Amino acid sequence: MSSRRDHLIEQYAADIKGKFGQTPDMDLLTKVTIGLGPAIYNMDSSKVSGTDGAELETVKKNFLQKKLGLTDGPLLMEGIKSVIDTYGVSERNKYRAVVYYILAKHFKKESVYN
């Protein structure tokens, strides 16, 4: 594993602890991070804009529905918004890996990564 990725995973873990008050499951966090591929190294794609409706829709379609296999419905966007709110509306760096990790936990879909 690259030291750069290790460093990012440590940052993500710190956010999970600090912003969400959870002890991160490092195995799951690592798998979510690896699943994002090179996107984690790109300034833009490594983060989620909590105020961009189109982006939140993409998170819903590509992650919750395609990756986690969830059925579309109002609960999906409610889940995304609760993660964004907990992360902190004023927090500019909402890491995609953290958002996806928390969503996988929120919807109890950790098994997708096993």
Give the model's pLDDT for residue 92: 85
Report how far residue 79's alpha carbon sits from residue 76's, in angstroms, rounded to the nearest whole number: 5
- Domain around 42: 3-113
Tens of pLDDT, residue by residue, the chain (114 residues): 568 999 999 999 999 999 999 999 999 999 999 999 999 999 999 999 999 999 999 999 999 999 999 999 999 999 999 999 999 988 888 999 999 999 999 999 999 998
Chain Cα centroid distance, residue 51: 15
In this structure, are residues 70 and 107 in contact, taking their beta carbons and an 8 Å threshold?
A: yes
CATH number at residue 97: 1.10.238.120
Give the model's pLDDT for residue 89: 83
DSSP state of 22: -
Total structural domains in the chain? 1
